[in-house]
Structure 1
Amino acid sequence: MEKESRLEIRRFTTDYAVREDRIRISVETEDSQIYIMWLTRRLMIRMIPEFVKYLSEVVPTPTLGVEDRASAAPNTATRVELSDNAQRQRQINALGHIEHQNPVKPKTPDQVNCEELITSLKVQLGRNGVLVNFVADQASVQKMPFAQDSLRQWLGILHHQFRKAGWNDDVWPAWIMAKGWNQGPDALRLN
């Protein structure tokens, strides 16, 4: 059963809540309402490998010449395994494009429309990104689209939250765990 239709997402914040020992996603909609979704480590360790596999295999087709465009299918993607160095570079590039914003936090208690413990995810993979449908008790709670770079950014933030929580990193590939992407003068500031 589908819950109420949600408005367009304006922005969201992902953080680790120590007291809950869970990841909290605070979503702000276009009408300034806030929806909070809780994700357990158990759910996350099943979700992350799917996203990593997707990003490891789907590579946008390089820019084609005029002659090649006629014979190529539009928006095609090739399935090529990228090296760890290539993946790390793509990850760093995506993280470098994060727009820094204030965290999503309710100003008043009545601004929080609802809180849900997410029990499952339905993920639709596509050439240009993924659509994540967060489900609580068999009802859709929120759908969030991620372009490939946005998914990389979110994975970087999730990795940071895993480290903050002290959770085991066994689901993370070497290209995300590599040191250095979050150090130095241009370090990523997470909200």
Structure 2
Amino acid sequence: MFTIDKVTVSYDTEEDRLHLAVSDAQQQPLGLWLTRRLANQLIGVLLGELAESEAGQTDAHVRTAVQAWEQAAANAQLKPQTPVRSDAVLSNCLVTSVDVMHADGHVGLVFQLRESRPAALTLSHTALRQWLGIVHKLYGKAEWPCDGLWPDWMTGESNFVPSAIAAGTRH
């Protein structure tokens, strides 16, 4: 199995797909093509994973506020890094499915590939939020329809104010 150490996601207008330029710890590059259909399914599952982390909150406004807060915190922690160079990728493989596993505050993604052995990526919840934020921006760049795919706390359309959390908290 190819263990992903670093990933750079971009939108390819010619292919109309997301391209994941990935590398392992030895900086061996690999390209993964992710179709919109599969990306939509994966995003739904991953957003569901994040929603489950706040399932204990009974008030929907508090849940939304907490999610918006967590997303903003993850985005603030995102630091620019040297990307995996797409031109260094010698092999591009179509992702046919993605297995999602959950363990100890991490999400494991195993990309099943048509032309190669599977590729595995492990993300903390913070890294998952950062990755989803990047993918959300790429959806806008691609002008892909997002009907109900992205929650308000991800799109910035929630009426989140920090005091909303405090108002719902009892000590």
Relative to the length of structure 1, the TM-score reads 0.73
Point out 4+ residue stretches in structure 1 off by more than 4 angstroms. Answer: none
CA deviations on 1:23-78 (whole Å, 9 max, x unpaired) are: 0000122222210000000001111111111101125xxxxxxxxxxxxxxxxxxx
Q: Distance in 1 between matches of 2:112 and 2:132?
A: 19
Q: Larger deviation: 92-101 or 130-139?
A: 130-139
Q: Is the 8 A contact 1:58 1:127 kept in 2?
A: no
1:72 alignment partner in structure 2: none
Structure 2: gaps of 5 or more residues? 159-171
Q: 2:83 aligns with which of 99, 103, 126?
A: 103
Larger radius of gyration between Structure 1 and Structure 2: 1
Aligned pair 1:83/2:63, yes or no? yes
1:55 alignment partner in structure 2: 50
Q: Percent identity?
A: 29
Aligned pairs for 1:23-42 within 5 A: 23-42=18-37
2:167 alignment partner in structure 1: none
Report the structure, 1 or 2, having the larger helix content.
Answer: 2
Q: Distance in 1 between matches of 2:84 and 2:67?
A: 29
Relative to the length of structure 2, the TM-score reads 0.81
Q: Is the 8 A contact 1:22 1:40 kept in 2?
A: yes
1:93 alignment partner in structure 2: 73
* Residue 129 (structure 1) shift: 1.6
CA deviations on 1:100-140 (whole Å, 9 max, x unpaired) are: 11221156xxx434210001011112241210000023964
RMSD of Structure 2 on Structure 1 (CA)? 2.1
